[in-house]
Amino acid sequence: MHLNPYGRDAVLLAADLANDPPSGRRDLVDRCRDAGLVVDATAEDDLERTRDLLDRWVCIVDAPGPAERAALTNDLLAEFCGHPRLTDHADDGYHLHFRDADLPVGRVLCSLVAMGTALHLAGRGMHRLGRCAVEGCDRVFADVSRTGRQRYCSTACANRDAVRRHRSREPSHER
Ligand SMILES: [Zn+2]
Ligand SMILES: [Zn+2]
């Protein structure tokens, strides 16, 4: 996965893992690979590291305002990102890494999500993380839409809410 200037793939992967936590290391590695991440190495604590990261990432989503959101993101950057370096490790072109080489996947995720989230918030807007507006759905999302007005985790939830709002406008038959 190459971090694009807006960190798109990294924040989408973070939201996906936060909404459906990986069931095990195998699942974690598969889903990272599916998302385009080159997995060089794995370690015993990959899953634990990922869970800790996601807990902290969800706090960024739930931050009450941009200053808090920035501070929490800065904490992740400070902890997990090294100096930038150019690499061609996967033979698919030179790109930037913000971490040391040959780290296990759990640790790579930390650096990727930290930098991806920072790029996403700085590039698209500090408001572009949120929780689904449907009552009873607590899934989180990273808003990569053109307009930046995403309110739902999915089109399924958007449709469900549209139907509900439509019904509530219909005259009641009980009267
Ligand atoms: Zn790379
Ligand atoms: Zn939803």
Taking the centre of ligand 2 as the mean of its atom positions, its distance from the CA of residue 131, in whole angstroms, is 8
Of the ligands numbered here, which is closest to the C-alpha atom of 153?
2
Q: What are the pLDDT digits (tens) for 115-141?
A: 999 999 999 999 999 999 999 999 999
3-state helix vs strand vs coil in the chain, percent to 5: 50, 10, 40
Q: How far apart are CA 21 and CA 19, in angstroms?
A: 6
pLDDT of residue 175 exceeding 60: no
Only one residue has tokens 């931050």, namely: 63
Of the ligands numbered here, which is closest to the C-alpha atom of 87?
1
In this prediction, residue 167 carries a pLDDT of: 87
Q: What is the mean pLDDT of residues 74-99?
A: 93
In this prediction, residue 104 carries a pLDDT of: 96
Taking the centre of ligand 1 as the mean of its atom positions, its distance from the CA of residue 102, in whole angstroms, is 10
pLDDT of residue 165 exceeding 90: no
Q: What is the DSSP string of 140-175?
A: EEE--SSSS---SSSHHHHHHHHHHHHHHHSPPS--
Do residues 128 and 63 touch, judged by C-beta distance below 8 A?
no
Of the ligands numbered here, which is closest to the C-alpha atom of 89?
1
Of the ligands numbered here, which is closest to the C-alpha atom of 138?
2
pLDDT of residue 172 exceeding 70: no
